[in-house]
C-alpha cells in the first residue's frame, strides 16, 4: 500500500490537507523530527488505519504560531484506529484490533513507565522526558490527523476495545480516551475531587468540559465552570454545571459566593493554559490570570489540578519573561493557603481503561458533554478556523468515512 493524506501545519493561522508518505515501522526524517530519532526502528510498533482523530486545543497553540513548531509538521495526537500491520516484535496486539492510542508515547521499559508515569517516559524524546504524536519538541513522532499512522510500543501502549461492533456504536465517546477524557479526569483527580466536593473549572473548552464531566463522575456536589465565551458556558450548563461569565462580571469570587454562599471552592482545575486572558469586557492576554485566580478561590488546604498547557517557548508572548514560560504567579498566596499543585502531561494509561468501562456501561457521556462533531479530513482546515473562533464543539475527524 502507498499514499497517505494528513493535516499539516503550514504557517501561523493555516493548516492544509496534503499528500504524504504512507507510514513505515521506522521514524524517518521530516519536519520536527529530532535528528537523534531519525532512523529509529519500531518493530515493536503497528500501522493503524485511522478511524477517528480529534482536533485538540493544544494543536491550536501551534497553529496560532504560539510555539516553535516548524512548517510541514503533521498534526494530531488524539488517535483511534484499526491495526492493519504489526511489527515482528508485537506479540499481543493483532491485525483487525480496534484500539485507542494514548497521546503520550511511552516505551514501557524505563523507570518512569514502570512507575506508571508514562507522561514522562525517558526513552522516546532525546531532548527531555515525555513525548507525543504530531507535537512540537516532542521527539518528532508523526501525527495522526491522517489516514494512516505508525504507533510504536504497541503491546504496552494500546488499549484494545473488547468488542469492535459495540465500540463503533460508541466511537464518538471512545475517541476521547486518547487524550481529552483522561486529561480532564486527571485534572479532577489531581484537584482532589471527591463525593460532595465543590469544584471550579477554569475554561469551558473541550478539556474544561471533560474536566467538569469528570468531576461529576467523581461525585462532586457542585461544579462551576468559568469562561469568557457564552456559547461554551451554555454547553457546560447543558449537562448540569453552574457557570460564571467572566467577560460580563470579572469578580470570580463574588460569582462563586452567589452560587455556593461562600467565595471559595474545595478544588479548582486550570483548563486554559498559557494563552489565558484577563477577566472583564476589556480583557487582554495575561498568562498567569488563571493560576492566580484559582489560588484565590480555592480554600486553604485545597488542591489545584493544572492540565492546561504551559510551555517553555512562546514566540508570540506578551513579554520577554512569558516567551520562556516565566509567569508572574502569586506563589506566596498558594504557599500561605497550603495548596497542592499538580501539573504536566496527563499519564493517559493510568485512567483510560476505567474510563473506557465507564463509557461502555453508559455511565460516562463524554461525547455529549464536549459536543463531539464529526467531520471529514477535508473539513479539517475550516474546523481549525471555527475552533479558533471559539465554537463549542469537539471536532472529530473521520478520515475514511467509517463512522455511521
Q: How high does pLDDT run on average in the chain?
A: 96
Query: pLDDT (tens digit, 9 = 90+) per residue, 11-64?
Result: 999 999 999 999 999 999 999 999 999 999 999 999 999 999 999 999 999 999
Delimit the CATH 3.90.180.10 region(s) of the chain: 4-179+349-397
Lowest mean pLDDT among 2-6, 181-185, 223-227, 255-259: 2-6
Cell digits for 220?
462532586
Decide if pLDDT at 2 tops 70.
no
Decide if pLDDT at 67 tops 80.
yes
CA distance 226 to 219: 20
Could you tell me if 157 and 151 are in contact, meaning their C-beta atoms sit under 8 angstroms apart? yes
Percent of the chain beyond pLDDT 90? 90
pTM of the complete model: 0.96
Cell digits for 221?
456536589
pLDDT given for residue 317 in this prediction: 87
pLDDT given for residue 212 in this prediction: 98
Q: Which of 312, 373, 56, 325 is nearest to 207 (CA)?
A: 56
Q: What are the distances in angstroms from CA 261 to CA 192, 317, 339, 357? A: 21, 37, 22, 36
What would the mean pLDDT of 165-179 be, rounded to a whole number?
A: 98
The sign of the dihedral angle between the CA atoms of 140, 189, 171, 353 is positive
* Crossing angle for the helix pair 230-238 and 206-217, to the nearest 10 degrees: 20
Four-way CATH pick for 180-343: 3.50.50.60, 3.40.640.10, 3.50.30.30, 3.40.50.720: 3.40.50.720
What fold, for 4-179+349-397? Quinone Oxidoreductase; Chain A, domain 1 (3.90.180)
Residue with cell 472529530: 396
Delimit the CATH 3.40.50.720 region(s) of the chain: 180-343
Could you tell me if 11 and 137 are in contact, meaning their C-beta atoms sit under 8 angstroms apart? no
CB atoms within 10 A of CB 241: 24
Cell digits for 333?
498566596
- 3-state SS assignment for residue 200: strand
CA distance 10 to 8: 6
Amino acid at each position: 500500500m502507498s499514499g497517505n493524506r494528513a493535516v499539516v501545519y503550514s504557517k501561523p493561522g493555516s493548516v492544509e490537507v496534503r499528500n504524504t508518505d504512507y507510514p513505515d515501522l521506522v521514524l524517518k526524517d521530516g519536519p520536527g523530527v529530532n535528528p537523534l530519532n531519525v532512523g529509529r526502528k519500531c518493530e515493536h510498533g503497528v500501522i493503524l488505519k485511522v478511524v477517528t482523530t480529534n482536533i485538540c486545543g493544544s494543536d491550536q497553540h501551534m497553529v496560532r504560531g504560539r510555539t516553535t513548531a516548524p512548517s510541514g509538521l503533521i498534526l494530531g495526537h488524539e488517535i483511534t484506529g484499526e491495526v492493519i500491520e504489526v511489527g515482528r516484535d508485537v506479540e499481543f496486539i493483532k491485525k483487525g484490533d480496534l484500539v485507542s492510542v494514548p497521546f503520550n508515547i511511552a516505551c514501557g521499559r524505563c523507570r518512569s513507565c514502570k512507575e506508571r508515569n508514562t507522561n514522562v517516559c525517558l526513552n522516546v524524546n532525546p531532548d527531555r522526558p515525555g513525548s507525543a504524536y504530531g507535537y512540537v519538541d516532542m521527539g518528532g513522532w508523526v501525527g495522526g490527523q491522517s489516514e494512516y499512522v505508525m504507533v510504536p510500543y504497541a503491546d504496552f501502549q494500546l488499549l484494545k476495545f473488547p468488542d469492535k461492533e459495540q465500540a463503533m456504536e460508541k466511537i464518538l465517546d471512545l475517541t476521547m480516551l486518547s487524550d481529552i477524557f483522561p486529561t480532564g479526569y486527571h485534572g479532577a483527580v489531581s484537584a482532589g475531587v471527591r463525593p460532595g466536593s465543590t469544584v471550579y473549572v477554569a475554561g469551558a473548552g473541550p478539556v474544561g468540559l471533560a474536566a467538569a464531566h469528570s468531576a461529576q463522575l467523581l461525585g462532586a456536589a457542585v461544579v462551576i465552570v468559568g469562561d469568557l465565551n457564552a456559547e461554551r458556558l451554555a454547553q457546560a450548563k447543558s449537562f448540569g454545571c453552574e457557570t460564571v461569565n467572566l467577560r460580563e462580571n470579572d469578580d470570580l469570587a463574588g460569582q462563586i459566593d452567589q452560587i455556593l454562599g461562600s467565595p471559595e471552592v474545595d478544588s479548582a482545575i486550570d483548563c486554559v493554559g498559557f494563552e489565558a486572558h484577563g477577566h472583564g469586557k476589556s480583557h487582554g492576554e495575561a498568562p498567569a490570570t488563571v493560576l492566580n485566580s484559582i489560588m484565590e478561590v480555592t480554600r486553604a488546604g485545597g488542591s489545584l489540578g493544572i492540565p492546561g498547557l504551559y510551555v517553555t517557548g512562546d514566540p508570540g508572548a506578551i513579554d520577554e519573561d512569558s516567551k520562556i514560560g516565566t509567569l508572574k504567579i502569586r506563589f506566596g498566596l498558594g504557599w500561605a493557603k497550603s495548596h497542592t499543585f499538580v501539573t504536566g502531561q496527563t499519564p493517559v494509561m493510568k485512567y483510560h481503561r476505567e474510563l473506557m468501562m465507564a463509557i461502555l456501561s453508559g455511565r460516562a457521556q463524554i461525547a455529549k458533554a464536549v459536543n463531539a462533531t464529526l467531520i471529514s479530513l477535508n473539513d479539517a482546515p475550516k474546523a481549525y478556523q471555527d475552533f479558533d473562533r471559539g465554537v463549542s464543539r469537539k471536532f472529530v475527524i473521520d478520515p475514511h468515512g467509517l463512522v455511521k
